[in-house]
Structures are given as structure tokens and as C-alpha cells.
Structure 1
Amino acid sequence: MTVSASAETPPAAARHVRCAVERAWCYLNRAMDGGAPSAQLSLDVSFSRSFSGAGARAVLREHLGADPGFDLADEAFTAMVALMLLPPAATAEEKSLALRLGRQIEAARWQRRYRFFLGANGFPADTDCTGLAVGALYQHGLLTAADLTAHVADLLHAAAPADSVPRPYGDDDALRARVFMVYWEDGLEPHALRRGRKHDPVACANALYTAQLSDLHAESESAAAVVSTSTRYLAEHLESGRYLNGTRYYPSPDAFLYALSRLCARFPSSAQVYSAPLRRALQEHEEANSSPRNGGEPGPLALAFRTLAADNLGLTAGQDQRHALLARTQQSDGSWPASPYYRMGRFPVYFGSPYLTTAFALAALRTRQTLQAAAPHSFSGRTAAPTG
């Protein structure tokens, strides 16, 4: 994997990375006043002009001539992502942050499902949020094993029906039987808008991750079928190269590669399927998109995705340079700038924030390599922390 070389000496670069970790941690705590701040929205990927969820409906009417049909309220998805990226707590500060994030996430729960937005604005719970929320809460000890099983049992009901009509792979409107859909569409959630039956590979990967945390797929034939078929669906998406176009809700190819790498890091069965093609895809994508001769270095969010993916796959080549480059792009307040992480499906409206980018950047800088090199007394110096 090709990245720009660092001009710093190795000891100086390592100190710079450790300093960046501490500053980023301080920023995330300082920015969280009662909860992780809601993402900003923008009509352009540069986030040159952004607006809040509260004003989004009016902006869409004015600039796109369209009404989404609901108010884009404050959201809980940022908290779900932040908790997913936070290693299981080992210090009082980390435990406090995990508990605050957990409370914010619980405010978006409906029965065994989790919504993107805080409050009931008509937007239904979805499998992406539920997968991230349930997995993160469980791995931080905020859900019991029994709760996990109950959540996963409901999550499995969001798989496309077994009698879905098969179509050639690549048909954007195709439903794949027994593959996780984005929405349940079962009509159980009161006052929820119908969103239509559809797949998104990143959402599917996040749902699959949490489904495999429970033992249901080993005990139930129907659960095993959903896990197996969803696994094949993601493998096809990777090997077809369609991930290079982004997904319906995640515009960056790196977001998909990172989501798949999480499965490899946690589940040997997933690693057996994805590791080899994923390593090739990471190398090819980086060589094609991030060298100076091809347009310059990647943005901080893309770089964080690639660093995390490499760490999840056990790749060390180029990681020192990635860490140094990421540390150099940190802003004076300890954050990294907003960048599109996800988008609305029907409209070119992008969600991102300094908080989200910083959460990913911090996780990328706190990989196994930097944790082992850090000073024992440092917050970042724990040696037993899985990568997000």
C-alpha cells in the first residue's frame, strides 16, 4: 500500500502521534456536552457550507425543490459510531464516556431496534443503526448476552424474504433472498414512514457483525442461512469492484472496505472469506487514489478508514507513514475537519462532522502498533485494546 513518506525521524514521528492521540481524546470529551454532537449536513462533499438537522428540511425545499417528508432532528448515529470505535473501557474516563454514549444511544431505541434520529419524527429504525448500537453496547458490557440474543433475533427478521425474486448481481433494485435489508418494512413500528425494501453493503456488514456476536447462527438453521447468504453478498460486492462507486448511504469506497475489515478482525470465518480479496482491494484502491501523482494524499477520514482496515487485517507496511500523515493533518483544537461519512439515499445531502472524523482518526492512531509503542503511564498506552 502506497502512502507519502514522512519527513520526521521515527522517534519524533512517534511523539507526534502520541501527542495527537491525547489532543484528540481531549477534543472528543470537550465537545460532548451531554452527548455526542449531531452531525452537520452539507450539499457538497467539501462541507464548504453546512447546516444543522433542524434546518435541513427548509434547505432541501429551497435548494433541491424536494421535501423528505420528515424533520431531520438531532441524531444518535454519531454516538453509535463513537461507542463502536471506543475500545472496551479500561480507565475511569473511558468508562464515563462509554456510559454517556450508551445513554444517548438508548434514547433512540424502539423495542429491540434503534433509530437514526433522536425522538420520533416518523423515520423508522434501521438495521445499520441497530447493528452498530447493539454490537457496541454489548462489547462495552452495556447489554447482557440475553439482550444480545433478543436483539439479534429481531435483526434477523430484517433479511429479505426467502421468496425474493433473484436478479443478476449488479441490479441496484434487486432484492437478495435472506440478505439483511436496511429497513424491516414489517409495519410493526407505529407512525413510521415506509422506506422500501433495499440493501446497502455497509449496512449489511454492520448488521452481519452483530448477528455473528450471538450464538443464534450456530443454533438456528434460518439464522445460519441469513449469515451465510449475507456473507456471500458482501463477498460478491467486494470482488465485483462495485464498492468503488460507494453505496446508497456511504459515498466512500473506503467506508465499505473498513466495514468489511471489522468482520475479518473479529470472526475467523469472515476472515477466511474476505481477507485475501480485501487485502488486494486495499492495495489497488490506495495505489489508484492516494499517491501524489494521482491527485494528492487522501483526506483524513479516508486515511483513517485505510489505517483501521490495514490494522484489522494485520498489515503493518506503510502504517508508520499513515500515522504520521494523519497526525500532521490534525487541527489546532485537536480535531480533524468534517468529511462525508454517510448521505441521504434519495438526495445529495451528506452527513459528517469534526467529531465523527476525529473519532475515526483517534481509533486509527490508537492501533496495536502505536499502543505498544506508547508510554506506560499515557492514556494511549494500554496494550490490550481491539481496533474499532
Structure 2
Amino acid sequence: MFYRYGRGDEPDLQPTKNWIRRVLLYGAYLDGTRYYYSPDVFLFFFSRLLEENPDSDIHQDTVPLPREHIQKRINADGDAMELAIRILACYSLGIRHKIDLTKQLSLQQEDGGWEIGYLCRTGKTGSRLVNRGYTIALAVNAVGALLTTRALSRNGILIDEGFVESNA
């Protein structure tokens, strides 16, 4: 929000940016956080921050780290929500692969949707907040992003060197 409204360089924001960098650098998110049970959630929101602010100091200082960390998460276990946000995080960081896409498609249900996914939890009780519609929306966006990229590259319109053909 600070970057969106031109306040990303405010000195009072520096301690928060330093904390975010340390969480990423030391992998403090790997076991989840108080509010996000999955490491993929942290990486998803961090990748969104970078995607929305390509000229920011935080983008320039950290962009190699989330790429490295999200690549390590490829093919990790996860529900439909985790797979979707991992695919979208990879996509926004320029990483294209079909390993998680294949897993995502295998979880699609007969009605065309996906099971309920867990994005976050409450801090005090740890109750997971669920929304099947949000899971489906993320999954559709994730599948659409990768399949569109593949279709375009096969037609010679777009060559995306980052899409790795893999048979995992």
C-alpha cells in the first residue's frame, strides 16, 4: 500500500522493509507464520509486492532471493490453494514450469472446481479461514497463466525461455 501511494521511501517504513528482507533471507517463513500456515503464502504476497513495484528499492535489493526460494518450493506438497499461489508466485517472478501445473490439474474436481484451500488462519485460535470460490479463482488464474504462455510460445508469438518442459 505504501508503494502504491508513493510512500515506499518513507524512513518510518525502513524497519518493516528490513524485517521482510530478513524473513526472506533466513527462511523464517518456511514453517509458516502466525497468520499464514504455508510458506507459499509468504512467497506469493512477496512476489506480488515485487511485481507491483518493479522500480522500488525492495525489488532491487531482494529479487534474486524470492526466485531462489520459490524454485525450492516447486513440487512440494500442497492443497489446491497452495499450488495455485505457488504457480502464480513463480509466474510473477519469471519462472515457468509444469510440475505444479500438472499437480493442480490433477486436483480439479468433477464440477470443474477445486477443493477448499486455506489461505490464512486466525492468530489467537489458529482456526483456518477457508473459501472455495477464492481457491477456484486462484487456480483458474494459475492454470490460465501457464497454459496461455505455453500456447503463445508454441505459436511462435511469444518465446518464453523460462518455461521448463518437465515430466515430473
TM-score, normalised to structure 1, is 0.36
SS in structure 1 at match of 2:129 = strand
- The question of whether the paired residues in 2 share the 8 Å contact of 1:260 and 1:274 is answered with no
The answer as to 2:109 corresponding to 1:356 is: no
Unpaired stretches in structure 1, ≥5 consecutive residues: 1-209, 219-223, 291-296, 376-388
2:68 maps to which residue?
Answer: 280
RMSD, aligned CA: 2.1
The answer as to 2:119 corresponding to 1:341 is: yes
- The question of whether the paired residues in 1 share the 8 Å contact of 2:74 and 2:99 is answered with no
- The question of whether the paired residues in 1 share the 8 Å contact of 2:119 and 2:129 is answered with yes
SS in structure 2 at match of 1:351 = strand
Summarize the Cα distance change of 1:235–1:217 in structure 2 as closer, same or farther, 3 Å threshold: closer
What displacement does 1:284 show?
2.7
Q: For 2:148, give the aligned amino acid.
A: L
Summarize the Cα distance change of 1:285–1:326 in structure 2 as closer, same or farther, 3 Å threshold: closer
1:237 maps to which residue?
Answer: 23
What displacement does 1:325 show?
2.5
Aligned length: 150
1:307 maps to which residue?
Answer: 87
SS in structure 1 at match of 2:114 = coil
SS in structure 2 at match of 1:330 = coil
Summarize the Cα distance change of 1:370–1:254 in structure 2 as closer, same or farther, 3 Å threshold: same
Percent of aligned pairs with the same residue?
Answer: 27
Q: For 1:281, give the aligned amino acid.
A: H
Summarize the Cα distance change of 1:240–1:323 in structure 2 as closer, same or farther, 3 Å threshold: same
- The question of whether the paired residues in 1 share the 8 Å contact of 2:74 and 2:100 is answered with no
- The question of whether the paired residues in 2 share the 8 Å contact of 1:337 and 1:353 is answered with no
SS in structure 2 at match of 1:277 = helix
Unpaired stretches in structure 2, ≥5 consecutive residues: 153-168
User: Which digits, 9 at most, give the CA deviation of each residue in 1:227-274, with x for residues without a partner?
Assistant: 333221101111122101211111111100100001121212232222
2:106 maps to which residue?
Answer: 328
SS in structure 2 at match of 1:233 = helix
2:12 maps to which residue?
Answer: 226
Q: For 1:327, give the aligned amino acid.
A: L
Summarize the Cα distance change of 1:263–1:328 in structure 2 as closer, same or farther, 3 Å threshold: same
Whole-angstrom CA distance in 2 between matches of 1:347 and 1:327 = 32
- The question of whether the paired residues in 2 share the 8 Å contact of 1:246 and 1:252 is answered with yes
1:256 maps to which residue?
Answer: 42
SS in structure 2 at match of 1:244 = coil
Whole-angstrom CA distance in 2 between matches of 1:359 and 1:321 = 20
| Correspondence list, 1:34-183, <5 A | none
What displacement does 1:217 show?
4.0
Whole-angstrom CA distance in 2 between matches of 1:364 and 1:322 = 10
Whole-angstrom CA distance in 1 between matches of 2:30 and 2:150 = 34
The answer as to 2:6 corresponding to 1:215 is: yes
2:164 maps to which residue?
Answer: none
Whole-angstrom CA distance in 2 between matches of 1:265 and 1:370 = 20
The answer as to 2:150 corresponding to 1:370 is: no
TM-score, normalised to structure 2, is 0.78
Q: For 1:352, give the aligned amino acid.
A: V
What displacement does 1:329 show?
1.3
- The question of whether the paired residues in 2 share the 8 Å contact of 1:282 and 1:306 is answered with yes
Summarize the Cα distance change of 1:364–1:227 in structure 2 as closer, same or farther, 3 Å threshold: farther
User: Which digits, 9 at most, give the CA deviation of each residue in 1:287-345, with x for residues without a partner?
Assistant: 6xx2xxxxxx43211111210111110112x2x33323312211112211112211111
Q: For 2:78, give the aligned amino acid.
A: P
Q: For 2:3, give the aligned amino acid.
A: Q
2:32 maps to which residue?
Answer: 246
Whole-angstrom CA distance in 2 between matches of 1:260 and 1:272 = 13
| Bigger radius of gyration | 1
